[in-house]
Amino acid sequence: MKYLRAGIAQINTTVGDLDYNTKKIIEFIRRAKKLKINLVTFPELAITGYPPKDLLLKTKFIKDNEKRLFDIVGETEGIIAVVGFAHEAGDVFNAAAVIHDRKIIGIQHKIHLPNYGVFDEKRYFQAGIETFIFKTDVVDFGVSICEDIWVTGFPTEDQSRAGAELVVNISASPYHMGKPDFRKNMCITRTSDNVINLLFNNLVGGQDDLVFDGKSFIIGCEGQLLAEGKLFKEDLIFSDIDLEDVKRSRLRDPRSRSLLHKPENSNVITVISKGRTKLSKEKIRERLDITKNPFLVKKKVIEENPFEEVYAALVLGVADYVRKNGFKKVVIGLSGGIDSSLTATIAVDALGADNVLGISMPSHISSSHSIEDARELAKNLKIKLEKIPIYEIYKSYIETLSPAFKKTKQDVTEENIQARIRGNILMAVSNKFGYLLLTTGNKSELSMGYATLYGDMAGGFAVLSDVPKTLVYELSRYRNSISPVIPERSLTKEPSAELRPNQKDTDSLPDYNILDGILHLYVELDKSIEEIVALGYDERTARNVINKVDGNEYKRQQAAPGIRITPKAFGSGRRIPITNKYRG
């Protein structure tokens, strides 16, 4: 038997903080050594953080990240480490350094560069054209980087045919709903098709609008899950892999026998390492419990709440955005409505109650129950709540503007003045105390432009900007199932901006169930008006929604960045021109 103890260091890096990231990598290498791990991997661009964007256009940044790589090399006595970094070799490459026993034995360049959705890698990197098999004293393995494993054929199949017992894939694969399971199932297919063991290392942490979920895994050559990392948390996982299973599996199945033969004209280069891996004197794998009959073992059924994953992504997104940008506390306007209630709850879960300040800003239109609901929420969350009424300020505005507005009727202008007064107050508090202002608008409102520029859109980070209104309610119910902090009335009352008497959201918007259905088809799936109507939606309603989505692009491009939880979030994931006459 030939066993390898293979490990994955699932770490949370910070873009541009080369010293911090390097110290983190070294810390996990030392931890891996204590666990007798033979081979340990780190995420894509682990030294620079991901995505570094235009930092990659700075030659000094590239050189500085390469210097840090050599700090790491000195820590690898007796172990193999695969570390992501930016490599300058005539051009700039997204690369993985393969280090064995204090020597870089090879550098694998990323071959398939994604240039869709939130990815823009062809702007910065040149694509690699060849791949390697690294032959060491403990394992023969290939390395690939993120997108390379998503593509069938080269390089994974070629590495397998060239004799690799294991493929290491280092990734920075951002989260959206359903992505972790989809990613894992894809990799199970890839390992089964190529009859090869796989270490898939995914980054964890928040970076601006992106959240990386981690959830790294080790998969055996027949598609069996051997180990799995935590969701949205740092982790160090490992598994003792029987490398002889690869050859046994290929011999057993005639369909896989062709994988035993290296193809002609292969782009696979063999690298032989002279390094020595420190082997444990202990048995690398514990004995099986022979009293358990493998034919009778029941599959564990774990019931998961589908909203738990999304909620955790939002919490991590807030925590990392605040921490990595040097803030300690946040301020939130509390209206008593569901959006501000959920935003405040996420903030408390991310930062702690002492680091969240709520501000209630009632007007002459605010209902008594809204004021009470804001107060109850603050009490349940144990956060400080300041009350700053805005009516006198509003009156002063109206009186000041009355000469300019004479002979006009009151309309949405006066409503938006209230929102802008509130935005001004919140920004003043943010400015005075150095708190980050969290905006509370959801994706449904932002899609329709149902928000006030420099009013409720004012702020530094938009927690719910990619969360449709219907999902806001489900996330709130999920969080209340853990502990009921959001007032029940906030969940059940009809949503209202409360900028005019008896106002309801449905005065301006379709029912949210209808609206979110149309938005999903138009924004996420790029369906046309004809296709949406053919699916059963009212044409007048659908056309009105589409016109408002298109007509409010100028607002969205001035909005605060928010957390991406869908495949197509506004911002880097959906790039529509502001000046645009096309409708449909």
Q: Is 469 a catalytic residue?
A: no
Q: Give phi and psi for 184, each to the nearest 5.
A: -65, -45
Confirm or deny that 338 is annotated as ligand binding: yes
CA nearest neighbour of 438 among 362, 358, 338, 337: 358
Q: Which residues pair with 3 in a beta bridge?
A: 242
Confirm or deny that 334 is annotated as ligand binding: yes
Confirm or deny that 78 is annotated as ligand binding: no
Identify the H or E element spanning 105: strand 104-109
Catalytic residue among 33, 121, 146, 443: 146
Confirm or deny that 340 is annotated as ligand binding: yes
Q: How far is residue 17's CA from residue 448's CA, in Å, rounded to a whole number?
A: 38
Q: Residue 181 CB: number of other CB atoms within 10 A?
A: 11
Label residue 281 exposed, middle or buried (CB < 10 Å: 0-12, 13-18, 19+).
Answer: exposed
- Kindly give the interhelix angle for 512-519 and 469-482, rounded to the nearest 10 degrees: 110
Confirm or deny that 431 is annotated as ligand binding: no
Confirm or deny that 335 is annotated as ligand binding: yes
Task: Look at the alpha carbons of 361, 365, 367, 370 in this order and tell me if their dihedral is positive or negative.
Answer: negative
Q: How far is CA 189 from CA 7, 50, 185, 196, 371, in A?
A: 21, 26, 6, 11, 54
Confirm or deny that 333 is annotated as ligand binding: yes
CA nearest neighbour of 212 among 168, 179, 185: 179
- Going by their DSSP bridges, the two strands 80-88 and 39-41 should be labelled as parallel
Confirm or deny that 454 is annotated as ligand binding: no
Catalytic residue among 44, 75, 147, 309: 44
Q: Is 135 a catalytic residue?
A: no
Confirm or deny that 526 is annotated as ligand binding: no
Q: How far is residue 216's CA from residue 522's CA, in Å, rounded to a whole number?
A: 33
Confirm or deny that 349 is annotated as ligand binding: no
Confirm or deny that 326 is annotated as ligand binding: no
DSSP class of residue 396 equals H
Confirm or deny that 274 is annotated as ligand binding: no
Cβ atoms 44, 94 nearer than 8 A: yes
Q: Give phi and psi for 250, each to the nearest 5.
A: -70, -35
Confirm or deny that 324 is annotated as ligand binding: no
Sequence-separated (6 or more) residues with CB below 8 Å from residue 301:
none
Tokens of 199: 């270490």
Tokens of 227: 């180990």
Q: Is 146 a catalytic residue?
A: yes
Measured CA angle at 21 (ends 182, 184), to 5 deg: 10
Q: Residue 548 CB: number of other CB atoms within 10 A?
A: 16
Task: Look at the alpha carbons of 401, 403, 405, 407 in this order and tell me if their dihedral is positive or negative.
Answer: positive
Catalytic residue among 24, 33, 110, 469: 110
Query: Which residues define the annotated binding site?
Result: 116, 173, 179, 333-340, 416, 440, 445, 555
Residues making up the binding site for deamido-NAD(+): 416, 445, 555
Provide the annotated binding site for ATP. 333-340, 440
Which residues belong to the annotated binding site for L-glutamine? 116, 173, 179
Residues marked as catalytic = 44, 110, 146
